[in-house]
Amino acid sequence: MNRAHIEFLSSPQWAEMLRSDLLPWLTSVGPLGDDIVEIGPGPGLTTDLLREQAARVTAIEVDSRLARRLAERLVGTNVEVLEGDATETVLESDRFSAVTCFSVLHHISTPQDQDRLFAEISRLLRPGGLFVGVDARDLEQLRQAHDDDTFTPVPRETLPRRLKAAGLEIVDVDEDEYQIRFVARKPA
């Protein structure tokens, strides 16, 4: 991500948008359980929401500088920050009550790597566990905002099929003006 993008994702404005927009939706999804994985926390304002909801959060961030900063900021809390690629983690299978992925999928270079991420998430979830995410729609203004960055939006139409191929059941796939939002479950 470029510097402007990171600054925005660290800003009070983004924190406020997450509290007024993401949090009510997350609450409507229902309890995420006691042991959550967050994919791609970035500066960690989404992590701050999640750590209020669960006993334990494991955040996996591929950018080493962002991972180090977040680990330093959250030392001594209920969050463990791991540096690494979430398409291929060392975490245990069938352990987690939920996996979240907020504004990360479009930062993954290819649909094939996105599908590898879905398969890895399916592996990590315990039976009945939820995969919950939001991501950018394919809009010209969002393409321009990612001018010098990866932008691989996931078409809403293909998402159910791709999540099912990873072994997940669809609970809900929805979209608003800017985002798709989805909830899937590992079969119990």
Ligand X SMILES: C[S@@+](CC[C@H](N)C(=O)[O-])C[C@H]1O[C@@H](n2cnc3c(N)ncnc32)[C@H](O)[C@@H]1O
Provide the 10 A C-beta neighbour count for residue 168: 24
Q: What angle do CA 59, 82, 15 make, to 5 degrees?
A: 35
Query: Which residue from 45, 79, 154, 184 is in contact with ligand X, where contact means CB under 6 A?
Result: 45
Evaluate whether 183 touches 130 at the Cβ level (below 8 Å).
yes
Assess 133 for contact with ligand X (CB under 6 A).
no
Assess 99 for contact with ligand X (CB under 6 A).
no
Q: Which CB sits closer to ligand X, 33 or 133?
A: 133
**Shortest distance in whole angstroms from residue 34 CB to ligand X:** 21
Q: Which CB sits closer to ligand X, 7 or 34?
A: 7
Contact stretch for ligand X (CB under 6 A) within 29-37, 42-50, 74-82, 175-183: 42-50
Assess 85 for contact with ligand X (CB under 6 A).
yes
**Shortest distance in whole angstroms from residue 127 CB to ligand X:** 24
Contact stretch for ligand X (CB under 6 A) within 69-77, 83-91, 151-159, 171-179: 83-91
Assess 107 for contact with ligand X (CB under 6 A).
yes
Binding site for ligand X (CB under 6 A): 1, 9, 39-42, 45-46, 60-63, 66, 85-87, 102-104, 107-108
